[in-house]
């Protein structure tokens, strides 16, 4: 999680799904999401992983479903399409040595 200038009111979780989480980490992540949900507090998550695949990255489908349920209840979800900006900035051929 990142917090610009160490002074944000909502956590920012960037690239969720880049690495799979083990059971303990998934449980801790659930606690963070559940606490934010019960407090009606914001959380920002970016991911390239569809909700239907979260069971593959959050240990199992049970915990993934519980997390997604809490996240989407009162959420604004933005689906962005198009080409990756990172790929666009990457040269198509490696530099000569």
**In this structure, are residues 53 and 20 in contact, taking their beta carbons and an 8 Å threshold?**
no
Model confidence at 92, pLDDT cuts 50, 70, 90, reads low
pLDDT of residue 96: 64
d(CA 56, CA 42): 25
The domain defined by 4-89 carries CATH number 3.40.50.300: yes
pTM higher than 0.75: no
C-alpha–C-alpha distance, residues 37 and 71, integer Å: 7
Kindly indicate the confidence band of residue 79, based on its pLDDT and cuts at 50, 70 and 90: confident
* pLDDT tens track for 31-71: 999 999 999 999 999 998 999 999 999 999 999 999 999 99
């Amino acid at each position: 999680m990142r917090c610009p200038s160490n002074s944000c009111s909502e956590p920012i979780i960037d690239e969720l799904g880049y690495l799979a989480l083990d059971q303990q980490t998934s449980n801790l992540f659930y606690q963070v999401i559940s606490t934010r949900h019960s407090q009606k507090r914001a959380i920002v998550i970016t991911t390239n992983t569809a909700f239907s695949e979260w069971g593959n990255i959050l240990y199992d489908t049970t915990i993934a479903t519980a997390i997604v349920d809490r996240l989407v209840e009162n959420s604004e979800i933005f689906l962005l399409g198009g080409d990756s900006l990172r790929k666009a900035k990457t040269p198509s051929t490696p530099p000569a040595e």
